[in-house]
Amino acid sequence: MREITLDEIEALAVGAWVLGTGGGGSPYLGLLNMRRLYADGRRVSLMDPDELADDDMVAVVSNMGAPLVGQERLVDSANIARAVTLMEEYLGKPFRAIMSVEIGGNNGVQPFLAAAELDRPVVDADAMGRAYPEAQMTSFAVGDLKPWPLSLVDPRGIEGIVAKVPTWKWMERLSRKMCVEVGSIAATCKAPRTGAEVKRWGILRTTTQAIKLGQAIRLAQKEHRDPVQAILESEKGLLLFRGKVADIARRTTEGFLRGTAKLDGLDEWRGQGFELAFQNEWAVGWQDGVPRVMTPDLICVLDTVSGEAIGTETLRYGQRVTVVALPAPSVFLSPRGLDFVGPRAFGYDLDFRSVFAGAAA
């Protein structure tokens, strides 16, 4: 266990936004909370998963809802902390540590907010290794771990518990309804995990991964080196395509932002086209009509010059972007993992083929 510096949290915010693969919301508001908490003298320690005893209880937190609502209601460390203590009251026992359900986007920073308020360590792990739109798209669901209970908090003094559900899909449906009812934004503490479960089914050391990624990007920017190259080196990623956004179509269906983006190639891709489909996050990419990359491989669309990640909500016509792929956590590559987060889970009738399978050969 070691204390995390504010500079590392700044880097975490940069790295988590890239791992958000187009979704997850900007970590900026969480970062502002951390700057305030650190200025107040609070400090957070990061705990390696191996330091957890098998029977330690771990809180799994996430800020749930629409990123656009978050831009108005903002992010408050007291809410996510209350979701954790509410769950402790319900369970009648304390949590040893706190972790994020998803490292990608705003939720990559959320456990630090609760940890700073409650003086607990953050576990260096998550359950997605990126951002995904739905509650059942986690390594814990792949591991068939218990999906209940869940606590949900709104600052008006609204506190809810989903005591029991038969499946992860039911948890998604019920918690989504509650979240919408309180304004499409809510602090949640998901089904608690034991230390043994985290070590077996968590995606381990993703907080460190996001910090290192953010540090690499920030260093490259500072030294005027190519930040895209820094991301590829830091994450052993693959450069897939460089181009200019030629079209972007978005629509809302079943409460999610879905759509497609078309890119016209530049440099060695001049004359070629790339098409991306998304459900909050980037899901599948086709090059000249042929499937090139698909979930669970991480698809990141980056500003070609700054290396900053670009979200599915903010991508716009004419931007110069670079598409890269980063390797998926192995838990999602099993047939059962692909049932939860493979292309068919997003409605694409494609057999998953990792873009890294060819590269390794």
Partner 1 sequence: MRRRIGIDVGGTNTDAVLLEDDRVLHAIKTPTTADVLTGVRLALQDVARAMGPQGVQAVMIGTTHFVNAVVQRRDLAPVGALRIGMPASQSLPPFCDWPEDLAALVRGQVHMVEGGFDYDGRPIMPLDEAAVAAAARAMKAAGIACVAVSGIFSPLDPAMEDRAEAIIRDVMPDAAITLSHDLGRIGLLERENVGLLNACLAPLARHTVQAFEEALRQAGIAAPLYITQNDGTVIRAELAARFPVLSFASGPTNSMRGAAFLTGLKDALVVDVGGTTSDIGALKAGFPREANAIVQVGGVRTLFRMPDLLSIGLGGGSHVAQQDGRITIGPRSVGFRLPELARIFGGPQLTTSDIAVRAGLLALGDASRVGDVTPRFAQAVLAEAARMLEESVDRMKTDAAAVPLLAVGGGAFLVPDRLPGVSEVLRPAHAAVANAVGAAIAQVSGEADQVFQGMTRIEAMAEAERIARARAEEAGADGATLALVDIEDLPIAYLPGGAIRVRARVVGEIAASG
Binding site for partner 1 (CB under 8 A): 23, 29, 32-33, 36, 65-69, 71-78, 155-157, 176, 179-180, 183-184, 244, 250-252, 255-257, 264, 280, 313-314, 316-318, 320
Cα angle 153, 159, 162 (rounded to 5 degrees) comes to 95
> Which tokens hold the place of 54?
């098998």
Shortest spacing between CB 126 and partner 1, in angstroms = 20
Nearer to partner 1 among residue 317 and residue 359 (C-beta)? 317
Shortest spacing between CB 331 and partner 1, in angstroms = 26
Shortest spacing between CB 342 and partner 1, in angstroms = 22
Q: Is the peptide bond before 296 cis (omega within 30 degrees of 0)?
A: yes
Shortest spacing between CB 91 and partner 1, in angstroms = 25
Q: Give the residue ranges of DSSP H helices in 286-329.
A: none
Contact present, 239 and 319 (Cβ < 8 Å): no
- Distance separating alpha carbons of residues 352 and 237, to the nearest angstrom: 18
Nearer to partner 1 among residue 26 and residue 209 (C-beta)? 26
Shortest spacing between CB 184 and partner 1, in angstroms = 6
Shortest spacing between CB 249 and partner 1, in angstroms = 10
Nearer to partner 1 among residue 157 and residue 166 (C-beta)? 157
Q: Is 17 left (phi over 0), alpha (psi -120 to 50) or beta?
A: alpha
Nearer to partner 1 among residue 116 and residue 341 (C-beta)? 116
Nearer to partner 1 among residue 37 and residue 345 (C-beta)? 37
Shortest spacing between CB 118 and partner 1, in angstroms = 14
Burial label for 21, CB within 10 Å (0-12, 13-18, 19+), is buried
- Distance separating alpha carbons of residues 99 and 10, to the nearest angstrom: 18
Nearer to partner 1 among residue 53 and residue 68 (C-beta)? 68
Q: Give the residue ranges of DSSP H helices in the chain.
A: 6-19, 28-39, 67-73, 77-91, 110-118, 139-142, 168-181, 195-201, 206-222, 227-235, 335-341, 355-360
Nearer to partner 1 among residue 56 and residue 134 (C-beta)? 134
**Contacts for 116 with CB less than 8 Å, ≥ 6 apart:** 34, 37, 38, 42, 43, 44, 77
Cβ atoms < 10 Å from Cβ of 68: 12
- Distance separating alpha carbons of residues 19 and 41, to the nearest angstrom: 29
Three-state SS at 279: strand
Shortest spacing between CB 16 and partner 1, in angstroms = 18
Nearer to partner 1 among residue 74 and residue 196 (C-beta)? 74
Contact present, 111 and 190 (Cβ < 8 Å): no
Nearer to partner 1 among residue 78 and residue 196 (C-beta)? 78
Shortest spacing between CB 65 and partner 1, in angstroms = 6
> Which tokens hold the place of 97?
């540590």
